[in-house]
Amino acid sequence: MTRRELLRRTANGFGLAALAGMVDAAEVNPLAPRTPPLPAKAKSVIYLFMHGGVSHVDTFDPKPQLTRNSGKPLSVELAKLIKTSFIHDPTKAILRGSPWDFKPGGTCGTPVSDLYSNVRELMDDITLVRGCYGDQFDHAPAIYLRSTGFQLPGRPCLGSWVTYGLGTACPGYIDTPMMGRFTGGTPEGRAKVIAEEPVGRMGKPEEIAAAVLWLCSDEAAFMIGHALVIDGGQTIQ
C-alpha cells in the first residue's frame, strides 16, 4: 500500500484532501511577499544582540522576592529545583537582588529601574516582552537557543541570514575585546574572520553607535529614498 493510497482509504479520504491542499500550497512561491495581517506602522527594525549585556533583573524585570532575600543563602527547597553548572552546592549560594530601585514608567506603569531613568519616561512607546522561556541554564546554549532556536551550535542565526543570505552593507563583526577571544588573539585568527566578512573588515563600536542613531532619525536613506554612499564607495538605496 502506498502512502497516497493509505491517505485515500483511511478517515474517509480526508487525509488525501489535506494532501491535495498542501500540494497546491507548495506550488506557490514560499518567498513571495505576503500581505501582513495588520498594516505596518514601524519605520524600521534595529536588532541589537548584546552578548553579556546588563541583566534583566537590573533593568526591566524587577524581582521583589529576590530583593527581599538579597544576601541570604539559597533555601534547601529551592536548591533541589534548580540546575547549575558551576555551583556545586546550591545551598551555599548567596542570593543577590538588584541594587537599583524600580519605579513605574510612562502612563502604562511598566516598572523600570533607576539605571534607565530616562528610558523609563518613554515606556509608552516601548514594547517589553517578558514571556520568553527556555530550559537552558548555561550561558552559551542559551545564546544558541535565543539566536537560532536550537540549543546546539551549527544552525544559522538571524545575523547570518542578514549578513550572508541577503547581503549587507555593514560589517557583521564589531572589533571589541570580546572578538579578541573569538579570534584567539592572533593576526591569523583576525585575518580569517575579516576574510569571511562580505565587506572585508570589522566594524568599530563608535561607527555602529552612530549608525544606530542615524537609523533612528528621520534622515535615514531607506526612509526618504535617497542614495547613500557608504564604506568602500558602495551605494545603498
- Asked whether residue 38 is assigned to any structural domain, the reply reads no
Are 17 and 5 contained in the same domain?
Answer: yes
**DSSP per position, 221-236:** HHHHT--EE-GGG-EE
Domain boundary among 97, 121, 154: 154
Q: Residues with Cβ < 8 Å from 60, sequence gap 6 or more?
A: 110, 111, 112, 113, 116, 128, 130
Query: What's the confidence (pLDDT) of residue 86?
Result: 72
Query: What's the confidence (pLDDT) of residue 105?
Result: 94
Range of the domain at 3: 1-33
Domain boundary among 129, 154, 179: 154
Domain boundary among 135, 154, 173: 154
Residues of the chain with pLDDT under 50: 221, 223-225, 230-237
Are 160 and 141 contained in the same domain?
Answer: no
Are 160 and 71 contained in the same domain?
Answer: no
Query: What's the confidence (pLDDT) of residue 11?
Result: 57
- Asked whether residue 168 is assigned to any structural domain, the reply reads yes
Are 189 and 139 contained in the same domain?
Answer: no
Query: What's the confidence (pLDDT) of residue 117?
Result: 92
Query: What's the confidence (pLDDT) of residue 119?
Result: 92
Number of Cβ within 10 Å of residue 14's Cβ equals 11
DSSP secondary structure code for residue 73 in this structure:
B
Question: Taking the mean position of all CA atoms in its chain, how far away is CA 230?
Answer: 26
Are 225 and 194 contained in the same domain?
Answer: yes
Query: What's the confidence (pLDDT) of residue 223?
Result: 44
Query: What's the confidence (pLDDT) of residue 17?
Result: 63
Rounded Cα distance, 223 and 236, in Å? 12
Q: Comparing C-alpha atoms, which of 173, 169, 170 is closest to residue 157?
A: 173
pLDDT tens digits along 158-212: 777 666 665 566 677 777 777 777 788 788 888 888 887 777 778 788 877 777 7
Pairing of strands 102-105, 110-113: antiparallel
- Asked whether residue 39 is assigned to any structural domain, the reply reads no
Q: How far is CA 206 from CA 59, 60, 176, 229, in A?
A: 23, 26, 11, 18
Domains: count for the chain: 3
